[in-house]
Amino acid sequence: MVSLSPTALIAIAGDVMQRGAILRFQARGASMSPFVKDGDILCIAPLTKHRAGTGRIVAFIAPGKQSFTVHRIVAHTRGHYLIKGDNHGSSSDGWVPAASLLGVVRRIERNGVPIRLGLGFERYLIALLSRRNWLLPLRRWLKKCPLYWGKRIDHER
Amino acid sequence: MSPTLDTVYRHSEDVISRFVEGELLIIPLVAGIGDMENDIFSMDETGKEIWTRLNGEKSAAVIIQELEEVFHAAPDVIRADVLGLLDELARRRLIIAVEKPV
């Protein structure tokens, strides 16, 4: 697999999205854990085919940094999106203009297996919890709690 | 079909190629998630010279001749490199053989 700089990834993503195709690449970092993990393969579809809305995981150019970032929309107004990593406490990427959005994550693969958690209707709840800064405390609590789905989240770490 | 010296290739329409920070990247385009298996390819110096000549007009023989002048390497080595890469690119459907007019 080719390793790309953020500049290269932005340029390529722009080209691919403009052609209405899908970009497939390997995610790096833990900012979207547990829903996207370091090494997961992400498939980004163009915004012309899939609407960006609250709860969607999107690829965008981070304001001020000019870096290629993949985080979740936690709120939106006309033309602007509040975007945040699922694993970020209270810090967000700020309000990002629609023009900085590159595409929408339509598929996550981990070890060759599609991961659906975080892309379905639960995305609205994740976005709500993340926006209110409850997602991280909830995850910490679940890790301590012997609930089935708490174990599931731990299991995915 | 393996490339011959007479084969003429062009880039596939389902491919984007782009120079980024001095590197030539080739990105296969896919329309649907079910189609996806390809990754992004990066070309070395020889690969760049070959890729930029695949314009649907130059045969493999012409490309080999031109690269001999660029790299000043043994003709056999250049020939093996060019035909090998063309075969690989065609197998991955990144290039398409141009039909000869009847």
Nearest to A15 among B18, B31, B36 (CB): B18
For chain A, positions 97-116, list CB contacts with chain B under 8 A: 106-107
Which residues of chain B have a CB within 8 Å of the CB of A48? none
As a whole number, mean pLDDT of residues A26-31 equals 90
The answer on pLDDT for A100 being more than 90 is yes
Nearest to A21 among B21, B23, B29 (CB): B29
Structure tokens that stand for A22 in this block? 């899908």
The answer on pLDDT for A41 being more than 60 is yes
Length of chain A measured in residues: 157
The answer on pLDDT for A45 being more than 90 is yes
The beta-carbon contacts of A107-111 under 8 Å, at least 24 apart in sequence, are A107/A42, A107/A43, A107/B33, A108/A35, A108/A36, A108/A40, A108/A41, A108/A42, A108/A43, A109/A40, A109/A41, A109/A42, A109/A43, A110/A37, A110/A39, A110/A40, A110/A41
Helix, strand, coil tally for chain A in percent (to 5): 30, 30, 40
Write down the pLDDT at residue B47: 94
Contact B27 A4 (CB under 8 A): no
Which residues of chain A have a CB within 8 Å of the CB of B18? 11-12, 15
Cite the DSSP H helix spans in chain A. 6-18, 122-131, 135-144, 148-155
Write down the pLDDT at residue B35: 46
- Cβ–Cβ contact A43 with B under 8 A: yes
**Fold of the A6-155 domain:** Umud Fragment, subunit A (2.10.109)
Domain positions in chain A: 6-155
Write down the pLDDT at residue A139: 85
Write down the pLDDT at residue B33: 53
Which residues of chain B have a CB within 8 Å of the CB of A107? 33
Cite the DSSP H helix spans in B13-101. 45-51, 60-71, 75-91
Q: In the CATH hierarchy, which top-level class contains the domain B8-97?
A: mainly alpha
| Residue B9 contacts residue B97 (beta carbons within 8 Å) | yes
Residue A108, beta-bridge partner list? A42, A115
Structure tokens that stand for B81 in this block? 């490199």
Structure tokens that stand for A131 in this block? 């926006």
CA distance B62 to chain A (A): 30
Most A CBs within 10 A among B15, B19, B26, B36, hence the mutation to make, goes to B36
Which residues of chain A have a CB within 8 Å of the CB of B38? 24
Percent of chain A whose pLDDT exceeds 70 = 91
Residue scoring higher pLDDT (A60 or A4): A60
pLDDT tens for each residue of A108-153: 999 989 998 889 999 999 999 999 999 988 888 887 776 655 555 5
pLDDT tens for each residue of A62-91: 888 778 899 999 999 989 999 999 998 888
| ipTM exceeding cut-off 0.90 for this assembly | no
